[in-house]
Amino acid sequence: MHREKWGTKLGFMLAAMGSAVGLGNIWRFSFVAGNNGGGAFLLLYLLFVLIIGIPLLLTEVSIGRKAESDVVGSFQKLAKGTPWYLTGFFGIISSFLILSFYAVVAGWAIFYFWNYINGSFFTQPAVGYEGAFGQFISHTWHPIAWTALFMILTITIVLSGVKKGIEAANKIFMPLLALILIALAVFSLSLDGASEGVKFLFQPNWSALSEPSIYIAALGQAFFSLSLGMGAMLTYGSYLRKENKLPSAALGIGLMDTFFAVISGLVIFPAVFAFGIDPSSGPPLVFITLPSIFEQMPFGGIIGLVFFFALILASLSSSVSILEVPTAYFMRVFSWTRFATSVLMGSIMFVMGIAVSLGFGIWSGVTPIGEKNILDSMDYIASNILLPLGGLSMALLVGWYFKKSEALESADLSSSSIGGFWYFIVKWMAPILIVLIFLNKIGIIF
Ligand code: PHE
Ligand code: NA
């Protein structure tokens, strides 16, 4: 069967950046940083992005480009007769877990957008923003309707083909989102009491480092934010032409994604402290904080409207890359059409999303893992466990199964001075760090 290719390298870059930049940078980054004490978490996160994330991003895209297949097929092709392809199935499971909650949160963002269109969030509702948000997410079917809308949009883009679907929107709205975030950060930093938030984000509380869960949280955030370890970047890489050079692309995507996360932190935390919001409010954090910022800002209503519009588009370019993972796989093995496959996969994810959404209302007592509700449990399994394991498996494939020359060639690093360094990370450092972080969490070492 004929496989699509990106029009240009820029097309790939836009799609991959679109995949990376999304709710992970603003929504997930903020609440995970807030839950894990701020500064120490940020430091670990930046470290992991630099020494594990960006090198493995290059690894993942290289695997896809070399194999020119989906997340299962690529491993079957490159490591014939080995169990490596199981990584692909973990990736597919992750894609279902992630998109089912991603769509719920994106649905919340659409609801906010709607409230800026009709003006009802221009000023604090009688119950306050926190109260209004709480009422909304605990309603039985309202949030599900917005989730459905987001899934329909995602499916529509995927069924019309990745290339046509996303290149154009990203070109305009990513820069727009960046501009708005910078303006919001400037405003947020000018609020009374903002400096507390800056301290929270940039002054590490070293004692937090003795908590094993901070490492796994930072690792999971690095993987989630870079769209790493489940095959989204692999699948996008598989639509690349051989002549496109990868190292600069991986670096650019990684830096861009990190920039969005840090700027979001500078928007959220000064405001969190200025408005007396609890930084460890969990998933609702940005949905409580942002409207309070917009309310104080001149032209805040309009800015809020444009912001949520740009956030929805950023979320769409991420959700599309998640849905593309199982779609590419099932299309190939069963020879289904792109249309039927994406509708079927998206529908299953939507049904799972219903459970996630009810987890904030009538099913709030359902806690699959410890105290975690349905969203937190699915997120934990996917982001903190399956994605790093996927990344580990990809690193081992390229570091140990490939010959060194083959590994360097796959990443376009044969004649580069940083090739040896990258290879060392992929072969030794990243795998060892990931394993140590897991062992530490389980309580086996330290
Ligand atoms: N990186 C995306 C974000 O930050 C989410 C994502 C995770 C996309 C995993 C693809 C794969 O919003
Ligand atoms: Na991201």
pLDDT truncated to tens, each residue of the chain (446 aa)? 578 888 788 889 989 999 999 999 999 999 999 999 999 999 999 999 999 999 999 999 999 999 999 999 999 999 999 999 999 999 999 999 999 999 999 999 999 999 999 999 999 999 999 999 999 999 999 999 999 999 999 999 999 887 776 666 677 788 889 999 999 999 999 999 999 999 999 999 999 999 999 999 999 999 999 999 999 999 999 999 888 789 999 999 999 999 999 999 999 999 999 999 999 999 999 999 999 999 999 999 999 999 999 999 999 999 999 999 999 999 999 999 999 999 999 999 999 999 999 999 999 999 999 999 999 999 999 999 999 999 999 999 999 999 999 999 999 999 999 999 999 999 999 999 999 999 998 876 65
Vertex 224: Cα angle to 223 and 226 (nearest 5): 65
Ligand nearest to the CA of 322: 1
**Tell me, what's the pLDDT at 444?**
67
Indicate if ligand 1 lies below 6 Å from the C-beta of 157: no
Ligand 1 geometric centre to CA of 103 (Å): 12
Whole-number pLDDT of residue 171: 76
For residue 201, give the nearest of 36, 358, 437, 379 by alpha carbon. 36
Q: Could you tell me which of 59, 65, 11, 413 has the C-alpha nearest to residue 235?
A: 65
Tokens of 229: 């370890």
Distances (CA, A) of 344 to 318, 349, 430: 19, 9, 36
Question: Does the CB atom of residue 95 touch ligand 1 within 6 A?
Answer: no
Beta bridge partners of 372: 369
Q: Cα–Cα distance between 353 and 145 in angstroms, integer?
A: 11
22 CA to middle of ligand 2, Å? 5
> For the chain, what is the HEC assignment?
CCCCCCCCHHHHHHHHHHHHCCHHHHHHHHHHHHHCCCHHHHHHHHHHHHHHHHHHHHHHHHHHHHHCCCHHHHHHHHCCCCHHHHHHHHHHHHHHHHHHHHHHHHHHHHHHHHHHHCCCCCCCCCCHHHHHHHHHHHCCCHHHHHHHHHHHHHHHHHHCCHHHHHHHHHHHHHHHHHHHHHHHHHHHHCCCCHHHHHHHHHCCCHHHHHCHHHHHHHHHHHHHHCCCCCCHHHHHHHCCCCCCCCHHHHHHHHHHHHHHHHHHHHHHHHHHHHCCCCCCCCCCHHHHHHHHHHHHCCCHHHHHHHHHHHHHHHHHHHHHHHHHHHHHHHHHHHCCCHHHHHHHHHHHHHHHHHHHHHCCCCCCCCCCECCECHHHHHHHHHHHHHHHHHHHHHHHHHHHHCCHHHHHHHCCCCCCCCHHHHHHHHHHHHHHHHHHHHHHHHCCCC
Residues 6+ apart with CB under 8 A from 249: 9, 12, 13, 16, 61
Radius of gyration of the chain (CA): 21
Minimum CA distance residue for ligand 1 atom 9: 227
Rounded Cα distance between 188 and 227, Å, is 28
Is the complex ipTM higher than 0.95?
A: yes
Q: For tokens 């399994």, what's the residue?
A: 381
Question: Would the CB of 322 count as within 6 Å of ligand 1?
Answer: yes
Return the residue whose CA atom lies nearest to atom 4 of ligand 1: 24
Mutation choice for ligand 1 from 26, 162, 225, 327, CB with most ligand atoms inside 8 A: 225
pLDDT at position 3, please? Answer: 81
Residue for token digits 């490591």? Answer: 79
Q: 9-442 belongs to which CATH class?
A: mainly alpha
Q: Answer whether 20 contacts ligand 1 (Cβ < 6 A).
A: yes
Cβ of 390 less than 6 Å from ligand 1: no
Q: What is the pLDDT of residue 164?
A: 73
**Quick one: which atom of ligand 1 is closest to the CA of 20?**
1
116/402 Cα distance (integer angstroms):
53
**Of the candidates 319, 15, 329, the residue with the CA atom closest to the CA atom of residue 164:** 15
* Cα angle: 223, vertex 226, 231; to 5 degrees: 75
